[in-house]
Amino acid sequence: MLQKIQKTIDNLWWMFVLQGLLTVTFGLVALLLPGVTLITLVYLFAVYLLVLSAIALIRALLRTSKDSAWWFLALVGAVGICIGLYLMSNPSVAIGTFLGIVGLLLLLRGIFDLFLSAYMMKSTEGRLLWAVSGFVGILASLIIWRYPVATGVAFIWVLGLYALIAGVLSLVYAYRARLFIDEIKHKLKNK
């Protein structure tokens, strides 16, 4: 049993690292280059969303036999891919529409993270990380929807700050998963 758990985590932990690094990178670009034109931001966000959604879809498909809620992660991934493709094919999308889509995605991600923390996580510490990520995502979406056009640079900073926090939390989760793998390997060696 421990070997199966170790193998599953060993195969998936790097996805959290990749997700965290991409999210932190996006956050830094958004915070350090707020003057980037909206069309460029739309392209950057679309690529970011496509990669992150593909990772979510892959994670969901790898968990179909192990997790009864895999379909929710697959749905979030599929919706993210559709929105990313739409943004790539329509770069001149209005700022209000773009901000509405970003707000919706952050809200969905926040709800997913809260769902994960409430129903899927067994450890208290893991729950706290996902709950914080969920609350930050929902808060970011509400701020974006409350001040859609007037936020301009502030929108980029809010999105960048959210990405930094969510990315760091993903990296912390990956690190914790890696420690868990090492602990299982140690226990298996000592048997």
pLDDT digits over 89-143, tens only? 887 665 677 778 888 989 999 998 898 888 776 666 678 888 888 999 999 899 8
Domains belonging to the chain, first-starting first, are 2-189 (1.25.40)
Query: 165, 134, 169: which is closest to 30 by C-alpha?
Result: 165
In this predicted structure, the answer to whether residue 76 has a pLDDT above a threshold of 80 is: yes
Q: What is the pLDDT of residue 150?
A: 60
* For residues 63-68, average pLDDT: 76
Q: What is the pLDDT of residue 123?
A: 67
pLDDT category of residue 9 using cuts at 50, 70 and 90: low
Q: Give the residue, 82 or 178, on which the prediction is more confident.
A: 82
Q: Are 79 and 111 in contact (CB under 8 A)?
A: no
pLDDT digits over 138-191, tens only? 998 998 888 776 666 777 788 889 889 999 988 988 888 788 777 877 877 776
pLDDT category of residue 31 using cuts at 50, 70 and 90: confident
Q: What is the pLDDT of residue 26?
A: 85
Encode the chain in three state secondary structure. CHHHHHHHHHHHHHHHHHHHHHHHHHHHHHHHCCCCCHHHHHHHHHHHHHHHHHHHHHHHHHCCCCCCCHHHHHHHHHHHHHHHHHHHHCCCCCHHHHHHHHHHHHHHHHHHHHHHHHHHCCCHHHHHHHHHHHHHHHHHHHHHHHCCCCCHHHHHHHHHHHHHHHHHHHHHHHHHHHHHHHHHHHHHHCC
Q: What is the pLDDT of residue 2?
A: 60
Q: What is the pLDDT of residue 82?
A: 93
If one counts every other C-beta atom within 10 angstroms of the C-beta of residue 180, the result is 17
- What does pTM read for this prediction? 0.55
C-alpha 19/C-alpha 90 separation (Å) is 25
Q: What is the pLDDT of residue 151?
A: 62
